[in-house]
Amino acid sequence: MNERVIELTEINPNEFFGAQNSTISLLKTYFPKIKIVARGNKLKVYGDPEILDEFESRLERLIKYYNRYNKLDENSIERILTSNGKEDEERKFGDKSDILVHGVSGKLIKPQTENQRKLVNLMKDNDLLFAVGPAGTGKTYTAVALAVKALKEKDVRRIILTRPAVESGENLGFLPGDLKEKLDPYMQPLYDALRDMIPSEKLQVYLENGTIQIAPLAFMRGRTLDNAFVILDEAQNTTHAQMKMFLTRMGKHAKFIITGDPGQIDLPRKQVSGLKEALLALKDIKGIGQIFLDDKDVIRHRLVKKIITAYKSIETE
């Protein structure tokens, strides 16, 4: 009788194995001729080589399903264990919905408004995209979803999320802790979006091994960003030099999304926003897209839309 040890990486074994090892119980039902022992994040299986090969193949498909949908229920397990594999491919490629990512606990992440859908479609045809609009229009969230989708589908090897370290009327220098601890609260919207889309244990692994990097814009200097999905958030607070530096970091097989709200610039009064400048300078270049979201795209509390409209009216007076 042969023995094989299969290690589950970047997966919470408690969630994958199910309550009271329900996944293991189903596996034993469909593979009665092998012995299965679960210890931590490892499976030890004993049996004849041919059956072990089939077991590993089915287990790999279960893992792929779990990684894609962040859940594993009894019906899905039974379908994967009994299908010939073609059904899974048909389901994958036959799905015409606009779902970007199956988030944590099966949450469906997809564009909510017409302009968000345009954002998604423009990203298919362009390697660099400017997504501009007021707060609450889903610019950053949709961009992060596109990045996570690209990572899951192995279109890129890493995600890089960055922001210019400009405070909205506050001073980071007075916050306690080292640079990372000072900046983490400032980067919180990016962490929040990621936590909706990637299970916490896997997200922690990605952050530790550099698959996902979150850093202030200054840390991008001198780098060439290959095989990456890169998002520059709050780009209205970049200077001319910062924006030019960031745009020229683009390496091979890279996708860049730049998000910002020209109505919330925190730069010194006489300093020109790098975002506004770039929108004008690059608007006619093929391969660079621009999408402008507005108050009709606000998906936060219903009052946010009214607040944006009210401020727009006094700012134009």
So what's the pLDDT on residue 96?
A: 45
Q: For residues 118 and 120, what is the distance between their CA atoms, to the nearest angstrom?
A: 5
Q: Are 162 and 214 in contact (CB under 8 A)?
A: yes
Q: Strands 128-132, 255-260: parallel, antiparallel or unpaired by DSSP?
A: parallel
Quick one: 101-315 is in which CATH superfamily?
Answer: P-loop containing nucleotide triphosphate hydrolases (3.40.50.300)
Supply 91's token pair.
């389901």
So what's the pLDDT on residue 233?
A: 93
Residue type, 210: G
The tens place of each residue's pLDDT in the chain, 317 residues long, gives 788 898 887 777 888 888 888 888 888 888 999 999 888 888 899 999 889 999 888 888 888 888 777 777 777 788 788 776 554 544 444 344 688 988 887 778 888 888 999 999 999 999 999 999 988 889 999 999 999 999 999 999 999 999 887 654 444 555 555 555 666 677 788 889 999 999 888 899 999 999 999 888 888 988 999 999 999 999 999 999 999 999 999 999 999 999 999 888 888 888 889 999 999 999 999 999 999 998 778 776 667 777 877 887 786 55
Domain ranges of the chain: 2-94, 101-315
Supply 181's token pair.
């601890």
In degrees, rounded to 5, the angle at the alpha carbon of residue 129 between the alpha carbons of residues 124 and 132 is 125
For the 2-94 domain, the top CATH level (class) is alpha beta
So what's the pLDDT on residue 126?
A: 96
So what's the pLDDT on residue 171?
A: 47
What is this structure's pTM? 0.69
